[in-house]
């Protein structure tokens, strides 16, 4: 597998760190498709190297970036000025994937915060993609935020939009594998912050996506851990029910939030790769 690191500049001047994993040991190896990753709140793209290995073994490239305010990318920790700025960054990721994998089909893959944002991107931007994969999307929180925190966010939304607060992530709910939680807690690139504005934008984006689920025009694999208490499995069920048959829902009974980091991760990734293969097969049959 080949690994590349680079950076590019957002529309408002932030340096965004990006890395890509391409299958094969030699330059010029052509992947089946590029899977373009948006990670979750507080984490970074480096936590998906094992996902890249699984995808690479199946012939897929994984192209990822650290979201603004996360990992090695610039910007105040846990902050984005607008949802549109975040969606603009997604377009830069897709452009980077086109440079790395010219002419190859593209999928968007998002976890948690990233899962919500890729659904928002598909609903608002209607890009030419083969499909979407969302895992544990934050369409609703599994455990509601304290009312005082929501009130403070609303008060400071325009007055002090960059004000950062603890994000309230229940880290013990990431995975049933204690080693994963311990690594997360010790990771210097992980942070526990979210700005007042971005936090409210995430909550509102999830509700907006649920209201507009019937407008989805791309195939979506929506997977959720059935025992996830960080984000809501029921909200994923609700979205799938409204998506007019375009959504394949898979709820993994007993799994926590990061289904790709659970003891059953090999089964989860195999299921995802099988779904990707089916979408490419369908696209090929239409030509």
∠ Cα 98 69 265 (to 5°): 65
- Closest listed residue to residue 10, CA positions, set 59, 82, 102, 60: 82
Angstrom CA distances, 25 to 2, 3, 31, stand at: 6, 10, 12
Encode pLDDT of 177-233 as tens digits: 999 999 999 999 999 999 988 999 999 999 999 999 999 999 999 999 999 999 999
Nearest alpha-carbon partner for 100 in 6, 172, 207, 234: 6
Pairing label, strands 193-195, 220-225:
unpaired
Q: Active-site residue numbers?
A: 112, 228, 257
Q: Does the domain spanning 2-285 belong to CATH 3.40.50.1820?
A: yes
| Other CB atoms within 10 A of residue 226 CB | 12
pLDDT of residue 127: 81
Query: Residue 152: pLDDT above 80?
Result: no
Containing 252, the helix (H) or strand (E) segment is strand 247-252
Alpha carbon of residue 58 to chain centroid: 20
Looking at residues 247-263, what average pLDDT do you find?
A: 98
Distance set, CA 267 to CA 49, 136, 251, 257 (Å): 17, 16, 13, 15
pLDDT tens digit sequence for 228-241: 999 999 999 999 99
The neighbour count for residue 90, using CB atoms within 10 Å, is 23
Q: What pTM was computed for the model?
A: 0.94
Question: What are the domain boundaries of the chain?
Answer: 2-285
Tell me the pLDDT tens digit for each residue of 13-32: 999 999 999 998 766 678 99
Q: Is the CB of residue 79 less than 8 Å from the CB of residue 14?
A: no
Please give the share of the chain, as a percent, with pLDDT higher than 70: 96
């Amino acid at each position: 597998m080949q690994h590349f690191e680079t950076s590019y500049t957002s529309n408002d001047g932030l340096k965004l760190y990006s890395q890509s994993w391409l299958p094969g040991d030699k330059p010029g190896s052509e992947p089946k498709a590029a899977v373009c990753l948006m990670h979750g709140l507080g984490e970074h793209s480096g936590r998906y190297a094992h996902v890249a290995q699984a995808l690479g073994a199946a012939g897929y490239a994984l192209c990822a970036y650290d979201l603004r305010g996360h990992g090695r990318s610039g910007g105040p920790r846990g902050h984005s000025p607008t949802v549109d700025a975040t969606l603009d960054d997604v377009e830069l990721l897709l452009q980077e994937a086109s440079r790395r994998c010219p002419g190859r089909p593209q999928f968007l893959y998002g976890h948690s915060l990233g899962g919500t944002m890729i659904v928002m991107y598909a609903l608002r931007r209607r890009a030419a993609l083969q499909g979407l994969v969302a895992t544990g999307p934050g369409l609703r929180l599994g455990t509601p935020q304290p009312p005082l925190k929501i009130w403070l966010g609303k008060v400071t939304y325009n007055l002090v939009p960059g004000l950062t607060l603890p994000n309230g992530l229940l880290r013990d709910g990431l995975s049933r594998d204690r080693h994963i939680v311990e690594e997360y807690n010790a990771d210097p690139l992980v942070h526990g912050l979210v700005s007042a504005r971005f936090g409210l934008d995430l909550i509102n984006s999830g509700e907006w996506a649920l209201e507009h689920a019937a407008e989805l025009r791309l195939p979506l694999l929506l997977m959720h851990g059935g025992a996830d208490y960080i984000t809501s499995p029921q909200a994923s069920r609700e979205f799938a029910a409204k998506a007019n048959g375009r959504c394949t829902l898979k709820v993994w009974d007993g799994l926590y939030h990061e289904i790709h980091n659970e003891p059953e991760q090999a089964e989860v990734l195999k299921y995802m790769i099988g779904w990707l293969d089916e979408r490419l097969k369908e696209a090929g049959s239409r030509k």
